[in-house]
Chain A
Amino acid sequence: AQKVTQAQTEISVVEKEDVTLDCVYETRDTTYYLFWYKQPPSGELVFLIRRNSFDEQNEISGRYSWNFQKSTSSFNFTITASQVVDSAVYFCALSELAGKLIFGQGTELSVKP
C-alpha cells in the first residue's frame, strides 16, 4: 500500500536557523510523483514542488531545497535561514494513478523571532 510518513509532528526553530523536514514514502509503483505543500495559518494549501521518480536531482528554489533519494525512499525539504513567515504546516504527498494525493500527517514548523 502507498503511504507517506512525516515523523516530525512539530519543529520549533529560531529565525535564521536552517531546518529540514523529513518525508519517507512507500510505493510499489516504478513511476510516481512526490509533492510538497505548505499550509500557513490562514488555512489554504500552497503547492511548493513536484518531483518525479526518475529525477533524483536535488532542487533549489531560493531558500528552499529538496533532496530526493530513491534508495532510502525519502524526499526531504530544507529551509535555509528560516524566517517567521515560514511558520506553517508542511505536507509531503505521493501521487497515485489518476492523481489522487496521499498526504503525510504534516509537520508543523514554528519559526520564532
Chain B
Amino acid sequence: DSGVTQTPKHLITATGQRVTLRCSPRSGDLSVYWYQQSLDQGLQFLIQYYNGEERAKGNILERFSAQQFPDLHSELNLSSLELGDSALYFCASSTTGDSYNEQFFGPGTRLTVL
C-alpha cells in the first residue's frame, strides 16, 4: 500500500458526460501528479500540483482540468467525455515535487466511456 488513495476505483459513464476523480496523497506529501495509462498512448503525464499551485502541465486536453485543495487532496475533472478517454488514471504524490523525489502511485481509477 503506497499510502495514496484514489476514488472511485471504477467508473462507467457515457459519451458527453463529466466525471470527477479524487486523490488523497500520502501523509506529508505536498505534490500531486496525474497520469493517464491507455493501450495506445502508454503512461502519459497530465498535470502536477505543488501545495495547491499548478507546477507542470503535460499533454492534458482542454476538456480536462484539475485542482489541489488546501487539505492537499486533488481532483481531476474530465468533461465532454469521448470513447478515447477510456483509460486508467493514476494519481501519484511526492514530498516536494522535485525531480529527484520518487513518486508513489495510487491504485488508479479505471474509466470506461460507453
Contact = CB atoms under 8 A, between A and B. Distances in A.
B2 A91 contact: no
A96 interface: yes
A44 B33 contact: no
Contact of A100 (B2, B56, B108): B56
Interface residues of A, number: 25
B102 A47 contact: yes
B58 A100 contact: yes
A50 interface: yes
Given A44-B2, A105-B42, A98 B97 contact: yes
A7 to B, nearest CB: 14
Nearest to A94: B99
B25 interface: no
Q: Binding site of B, secondary structure by majority: helix, strand, loop or mixed?
A: strand
Contacts of A43: 88, 107-108, 110
A95 interface: yes
A88 interface: no
B43 interface: yes
B100 A95 contact: yes
A99 interface: yes
A50 B100 contact: yes
Contact of A98 (B35, B44, B48, B106): B48
Interface string B34-54: 010000001111001000000
A98 B42 contact: no
Interface of A: 31-33, 35, 37, 43-47, 50, 52, 91, 95-106
